[in-house]
């Protein structure tokens, strides 16, 4: 039997022999990540010795999963045609399922998984995401995001599990286990813990802004999930866009090399984020410890030539280059890519299968947090004579899924294979169900109104409250407030479902409603929501974030004030009622 130790030794020996044969161009090539479109032609994979290809927003690799596989297989053949035949890593932002593929199983975003608090379920969701990612040709996912969001204004709150370091740490372990399983299996992928570090703790919640927490707090609140990820063998860690005292995290040698690599013993790949090279200091990011650069969107030439020049000029040492390449090759060996470089076509038939959707549906059910249930209006009787379902969020798989769904910024359209909340209600209700998308239908004779309101889909800085690109606020829009007013004013009992990527200031709406449910961003299985509303299952979700009572509470950097008790939330962390 080959023990772990001895297989590690064998891998290191193989790396030694490969490294000894590699030219500087070949090494820099390995340290390069590009998109499969725009950045390169297929021939460039061979001539520039590319190390990794990603798929993000942009032209699809094909229509069907088999076409996606074929596209990546063709690129892999180009890589294998190089002198040394080093296989490519194929990465994708599969952050709540293989969400770039229309028809894949979409899980609740991490904030919803944080509400479940169920590590076993998070592990299963990650394993399914890994399989569906492999089925579409990928061996690497840029997930999990293990940020600790301090400020709900940040547009990426929903990508993270929780404001709690402890809960995030537990779910990080589960997630890494789920994605990576036995790394060399054909249905597992390399995971990426991101974004190292301080992404969620910027002042005022600005994506890529300044993080002004001190070293002790960083150590206590932000590093434990990374320590857990490293202990569980996470293959990659992505650097963050934020700065510390004005210094870009990408160029932060003390944190990347001293703390992460040397201190925690991380032996995998530190990958830059989008255009990290041109944005954050060129060769300085390599010196700080970035091993692979996302040289996308026009950065490829600048990066490959610039880094070569920096090595020639003695600004970057050969040792640093060798260390970076060693880390990349190590992961390629651990993934078994040298033996099995191509995707497994038998996995295609498993994309979006009922067994996967059932796990996603369980996650939806367990993610729902019941904040109010006056006179036990919930669970609803299936025999209720007339139910009016209100709000466009109730009948759109796109709206219920948030950003990073089919498109980077998400979609308001239905996508393939999911069920909407309305469809779930219609399936279970035995009486009349009517749909009133914009609350103009005047169905005031209904016994109950189920009103779905919340946020439009968004991703990254487009979701920051206060960013010039949007009109988002920490409250419901007037339009959505009026959906609730319309029915409450006519004396109809109202069950509010909040579909959002973060807690919103909804104190008044909670008062007005008979029942109020924080549903986060459930993903493709909207019928899971109905199953709980009608009592087929109990509520299990608990708040992954403390819940604001007023906008004032959320001014500035509120995080630590919650923790030191000087601001009292409307509902504390882990609040949640049951039947
Ligand atoms: C995001 C990352 C993501 C990357 C690749 C960046 O803009 O910050 O989270 O993994 O794009 O799509």
Overall fold of domain 27-348: TIM Barrel (3.20.20)
Task: Quote the distance between the C-alpha of residue 270 and its chain's center.
Answer: 18
Q: What percent of the chain has pLDDT over 90?
A: 93
Judge if the beta carbon of residue 199 lies within 6 A of ligand 1: no
- Cα distances from 70 to residues 73, 74, 78, 332, in angstroms, run 5, 6, 13, 20
In the chain, where are the structural domains located?
27-348, 368-554
* Degrees, nearest 5: CA angle 327-330-334: 140
Judge if the beta carbon of residue 93 lies within 6 A of ligand 1: yes
Task: Establish whether 207 is a catalytic residue.
Answer: no
Predicted confidence at residue 556, as pLDDT, reads: 52
Q: Is residue 201 pLDDT above 80, yes or no?
A: yes
Q: Is 478 exposed, middle or buried (0-12, 13-18, 19+ CB in 10 A)?
A: exposed
Atom of ligand 1 nearest to the CA of 56: 12
Atom of ligand 1 nearest to the CA of 241: 8
Write the pLDDT tens digit of every residue in 229-278.
999 999 999 999 999 999 999 999 999 999 999 999 999 999 999 999 99
Name the active-site residue from 132, 207, 273, 366: 273
Q: Is residue 502 pLDDT above 70, yes or no?
A: yes
Task: Establish whether 199 is a catalytic residue.
Answer: no
Q: Is residue 565 pLDDT above 80, yes or no?
A: no
3-state secondary structure 432-477: EEEEECCCCCCCCCCCEEEEEEECCCCCHHHHCCCCCCCCCCCECC
Judge if the beta carbon of residue 273 lies within 6 A of ligand 1: yes
Mean pLDDT of 406-425: 98
Task: Quote the distance between the C-alpha of residue 172 and its chain's center.
Answer: 12
d(CA 444, CA 423): 21
Atom of ligand 1 nearest to the CA of 57: 12
Write the pLDDT tens digit of every residue in 102-160.
999 999 999 999 999 999 999 999 999 999 999 999 999 999 999 999 989 999 999 99
Write the pLDDT tens digit of every residue in 121-130.
999 999 999 9
Of 3.40.50.1700, 3.40.50.300, 3.40.50.10320, 3.30.1490.20, the CATH number of 368-554 is 3.40.50.1700
Measured between its terminal Cα atoms, the distance across the chain in Å is 52
Q: 566 or 282: which carries more pLDDT confidence?
A: 282
**Mutation choice for ligand 1 from 100, 200, 272, 274, CB with most ligand atoms inside 8 A:** 274
Judge if the beta carbon of residue 537 lies within 6 A of ligand 1: no
Model confidence band, residue 553 (pLDDT cutoffs 50, 70, 90): confident
Judge if the beta carbon of residue 407 lies within 6 A of ligand 1: no
> Whole-number mean pLDDT of the chain?
96
Half-sphere exposure of residue 541: CA atoms within 13 angstroms, side-chain side: 31
């Amino acid at each position: 039997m080959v023990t772990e130790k001895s297989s590690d030794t064998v891998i290191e020996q193989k790396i030694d022999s490969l490294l000894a044969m590699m030219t500087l161009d070949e090494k820099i090539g390995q340290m390069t990540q590009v998109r499969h479109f725009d950045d390169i032609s297929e021939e460039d994979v061979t001539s520039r010795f590319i190390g990794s290809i990603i798929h993000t927003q942009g032209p699809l690799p094909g229509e069907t999963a088999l076409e996606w596989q074929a596209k990546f297989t063709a690129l892999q053949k180009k890589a294998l045609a190089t002198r040394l035949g080093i296989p490519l890593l194929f990465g994708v932002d599969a952050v709540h399922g293989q969400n770039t593929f229309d028809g894949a199983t979409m899980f609740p975003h991490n904030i919803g998984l944080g509400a479940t608090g169920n590590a076993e379920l998070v592990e299963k969701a990650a394993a399914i995401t890994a399989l569906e990612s492999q089925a579409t040709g990928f061996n690497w996912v840029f997930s999990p995001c293990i940020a600790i969001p301090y400020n709900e204004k940040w547009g990426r709150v929903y990508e993270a599990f929780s404001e709690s370091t402890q809960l995030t740490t537990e779910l990080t372990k589960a997630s890494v286990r789920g994605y990576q399983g036995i790394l060399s299996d054909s249905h597992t992928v390399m995971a990426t813990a991101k974004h190292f570090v301080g992404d969620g703790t910027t002042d005022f919640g600005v994506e890529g802004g300044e993080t002004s927490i001190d070293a002790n707090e960083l150590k206590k609140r932000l590093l434990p999930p990374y320590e857990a990820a490293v202990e569980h063998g996470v293959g990659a860690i992505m650097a963050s866009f934020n700065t510390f005292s004005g210094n870009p995290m990408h160029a932060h040698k003390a944190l990347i090399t001293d703390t992460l690599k040397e201190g925690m013993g991380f032996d995998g790949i530190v990958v830059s984020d989008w255009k990290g090279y041109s944005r954050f200091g060129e060769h300085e990011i390599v010196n700080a410890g970035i091993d692979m650069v996302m040289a996308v969107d026009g950065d490829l030439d600048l990066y490959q030539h610039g880094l070569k020049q920096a090595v020639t000029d003695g600004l970057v040492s050969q040792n640093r280059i060798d260390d970076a390449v060693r880390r990349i090759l190590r992961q390629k060996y651990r993934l078994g890519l040298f033996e099995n470089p191509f995707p497994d076509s038998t996995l295609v038939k498993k994309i979006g299968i009922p067994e996967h959707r059932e796990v996603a549906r369980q996650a939806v059910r367990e993610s729902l947090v019941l904040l109010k249930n006056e006179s036990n209006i919930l669970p609803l009787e299936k025999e209720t004579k007339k139910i009016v379902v209100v709000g466009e969020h109730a009948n759109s798989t796109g709206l219920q899924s948030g950003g990073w769904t089919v498109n980077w910024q998400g979609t308001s359209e239905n996508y393939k294979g999911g069920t909407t909340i309305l469809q779930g209600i219609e399936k279970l209700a035995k009486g009349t169900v009517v749909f009133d998308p914009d609350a103009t239908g005047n169905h005031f004779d209904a016994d109950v109104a189920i009103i779905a309101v919340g946020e439009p889909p968004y991703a990254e800085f487009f979701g920051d409250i206060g960013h010039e690109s949007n009109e988002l606020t920490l409250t419901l829009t007037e339009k959505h407030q009026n959906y609730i007013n319309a029915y409450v004013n006519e004396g109809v009992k109202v069950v509010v479902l909040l579909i959002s990527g973060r807690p919103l200031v909804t104190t008044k709406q909670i008062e007005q409603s008979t029942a109020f449910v924080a549903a986060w961003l459930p993903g493709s299985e909207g019928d899971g929501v109905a199953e709980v509303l009608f009592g087929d299952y109990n509520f299990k979700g608990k708040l992954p974030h403390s819940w604001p009572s007023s906008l004032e509470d959320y001014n500035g950097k509120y995080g630590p004030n919650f923790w030191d008790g000087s601001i009292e939330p409307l509902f504390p962390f882990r609040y949640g009622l049951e039947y």
